[in-house]
Amino acid sequence: MNIYYVYLHRRASDGSIFYVGKGKGERYISLSKSERPNIKWINVSNKHGVVAEIVQDGMSESDAFLLEMWLIAKFRHEGIDLSNMTDGGEGVSGYSWSQEQKDAKSKSMGRAVCNSDGMRFHSVKSAEAWLRENGFPNAARTNISMAARGLRGSAYGLSWWYDEGEPKDYKASNYCGRRIYCSNGMFFETSLMAERWLAECGIKSASQSHIVEVCRSKRRSAYGFKWEYADE
């Protein structure tokens, strides 16, 4: 059910953000004593007062959790001193994940994901690893997941979406990948289709990432062929 939202708590004294939360109902404005996040939050709220603001509502629980993590990471990167115990989903200090949080994070991070270069990764983690090896050393899987869920426009210059399993009547128009030209004279609508053609030809270890690396001039050839984007 899409009944969750992500909210901010700002200091009433100057409007600065000091907390990011996820909730439903009236949680963002009516925290009981037992629900107050931590002593740092209590100290800030007692000294400055609290103004609550909903960032986005009408969300599923897993989407709200992901947006909460991304905002925490974003604000910390900008140097904002938050009272949150987590650091955006990449690690925790003095904090234990609830089973609900573990399940939501696992669900979003363990699904296959595709990008607008026609590449498919078996998980967001593997997409992050590839990005870090190809010009984005600080790539974060949270940003990829946000883009794949439509919670941000793109990540690292690419559009992303979750692959829910290829339909039997697969057509390249189902994906936004760029057309690929092979030096044998063949054209492929995406690097994923080129990879599958190579696999059918007996090259079972073929990887679309190597094909894309040739298209980007990061390597000279792959699997005995030269490759390039057909629109260049």
Cβ pair 138, 101 in contact under 8 A: no
CATH of segment(s) 4-80+96-106: 3.40.1440
In the block, which residue shows the tokens 């079972």?
A: 204
Name the E strands within 94-194. Answer: 113-115, 120-121, 160-162, 180-182, 187-188
**Do 12 and 49 touch, CB atoms closer than 8 A?**
yes
Q: State in Å, rounded, how far the first CA of the chain is from the last one.
A: 45
Spell out the domain ranges in the chain.
4-80+96-106, 110-162, 178-229
State the 10-residue block means of pLDDT for the chain, 232 residues long. 85 91 78 62 89 86 81 82 65 46 56 81 86 82 81 78 53 51 88 83 83 86 91 73
Cα–Cα distance measured from residue 216 to residue 219, given in angstroms and rounded to the nearest whole number: 8
3-state secondary structure of 11: strand
Q: For the whole model, what pTM was predicted?
A: 0.46
Burial of 153 (0-12, 13-18, 19+ CB in 10 A): exposed
pLDDT at 35 (0 to 100)? 55
Residue type (1 letter), 93: S
